[in-house]
Structure 1
Amino acid sequence: MTFDLAGALRRIRRLADLSQRELARACGISQSAIARAERNASDLPTGALVRAAAQAGLTVALVDGEGQEVAPMSSQAVRDRADRRFPAHLDTRYSDQGWWHDDHHYGRARPWYTFDRDRRLRDAVRRRVGTPEDHQLPQPGDSPEERAAERAAVRRRRRDEDRERRCLAGESRRLPEFFECHCLSGCDDLEDWSGRPVHAEGCPCSCDVG
């Protein structure tokens, strides 16, 4: 489907009851620019076309092959640390889900978001989970530190649930009601959900000892 600029401009002028000169004045361009576009002798800047359509109460939009309007990408999507938009054709993700970086980036703070530079990696992910319609939107708790804390909380909750299951099954003693766990943060990283107690070296807590 090709866009008939000349016909569109004439439709706009007919709906808005405007001459070429009047439409040009409303759009901030010359009358000759309108005349050339209506002869298919030249194009119009997109901004001028948008302003022209507005004179007739119309909007310029993208439509697919079935005539359905396609929304533009969100201006509220995540951005990099310099407040720049990520490449539109690539997919964003949290940096703790895999952060590409060259050697000189190792000393830098981890960004909140990143993307796949390699289209082959991007396509492999898309085959597995599908193609997102847009870049992700920022959410509360998106910082690497907050996400790490949330993962640790999930691990602790699962460990507590597993401990309760083993207590009910008679595989482990029940802890006192007001027992406070003093496991090291490294214990969370070692948890493998095999059902056996896992503690980091030097952990003073006996919460999993049966």
Structure 2
Amino acid sequence: MSEPVRAESADASEAGEVFDGARYIVRARRLADLSQRELAEEVGLSRATVGRLESGASRVDTATLSVILGRAGLRLTVVDRDGREVGPVPSDVLRDNADRRFPGHLDVRPPQDAPSDRVHPRRGVREARGWFEQRPSRAARRGRAGVPADHPTVSGLREDRRAAYWRGVASAETRRAAEPQPECSCFDDCFERACLTDCPCQCEPDHRSVLGSLHLLQPPSGE
């Protein structure tokens, strides 16, 4: 019986039919083997409400439909023309300084990647939490790199910073392994204050004589 269901859904999709949630409620009841009264009790609705939803007398919202479908092991999903599932936009996208989401049709860039046609804030004004491109520069960038999938997210930028940090650590470790530091050959007395004058290592020179010379070069405080 499942094969005709898929074929019917595909035909309806190709014909551009408006989504009919009422018929999916009936489908869910049949798969879950529930009467209208039983379904109503499970999802917290009245039997009359379920009847109105199935008849189309009342419109079903996506939240209620998701709960009803869940009773039959089904879920709502959005697919593109090729049948690939499309998820919603992330919930933690970057926001502007007024804590508002940037317009969805614009391409947003992280705070450190300001477009060339934007002016940085004056001193004393908060740094921008994100940028969006004006249409001319946006069109040029889209022509070069395509359309970005989503606005940057707070969690994504955090992961990028963490990854950059560990890349720096790995790079430093690689350089350290390629050019190892010579072993310290200081005398024991060198660790009391600074390297002795005849210490071959001289990794901790005594700077006090240099600092004293610089002090002598400073003009008197009265001048």
Give the TM-score normalised by the residue count of structure 2: 0.53
2:61 maps to 1:45: yes
Instruction: From the superposition, tell whether residues 99 and 60 of structure 1 become closer, same or farther in structure 2 (CA, over 3 Å).
Output: farther
Between 1 and 2, higher relative CO (CA 8 Å, sep ≥ 6) is seen in 1
2:151 to 113, 135, 160: 135
Matched with 2:140 is 124
Q: Is the 8 A contact 2:29 2:36 kept in 1?
A: yes
Cα deviation, residue 9, structure 1: 0.7
Greater per-residue helix proportion: 2
Report the equivalent of 1:97: 114
Local SS of the residue matching 2:109: strand
**Counterpart AA for 1:94:** P
Note the alpha carbon deviations across 1:126-152, whole angstroms, 9 max, x for none. 222211111123324989xxxxxxxxx
1:114 to 113, 116, 131: 131
Partner of 1:57: 73
Question: Aligned partner of 1:45: which letter?
Answer: D
- Equivalence for 1:18: 34
Q: CA deviation at 1:32?
A: 2.7
Write the deviation string for residues 147-167 of structure 1: whole angstroms up to 9, x where unpaired: xxxxxxxxxxxxxxxxxxxxx
Quick one: distance in 2 between partners of 1:122 and 1:76? 22
SS of residue paired to 1:62? coil
| Ranges in structure 2 where 5+ consecutive residues have no aligned partner | 1-12, 162-223
Deviations 1:37-58 (A, max 9, x none): 2222331011101111111111
Give the superposition deviation at 1:17: 1.5
Q: How does 1:183-198 map to 2 (within 5 A)?
A: none
Which is greater in Rg? Answer: 2
| Residue aligning to 1:178 | none
Q: CA deviation at 1:66?
A: 2.6
> What is the SS of the residue equivalent to 2:141?
helix
Question: How far apart, CA to CA, are the structure 2 residues paired with 1:82 and 1:100?
Answer: 21
Distance 1:141 1:70 in 2: 23
Identity in percent: 42
Contact 1:112 1:142 in 2 (8 A): no
Partners of 1:25 and 1:124 in 2: CA distance:
56
User: Contact between 2:32 and 2:72, CA under 8 Å: does it hold in 1?
Assistant: yes
Number of the residue aligned with 2:206? none
Where 1:34 maps in the other structure, the secondary structure is: helix
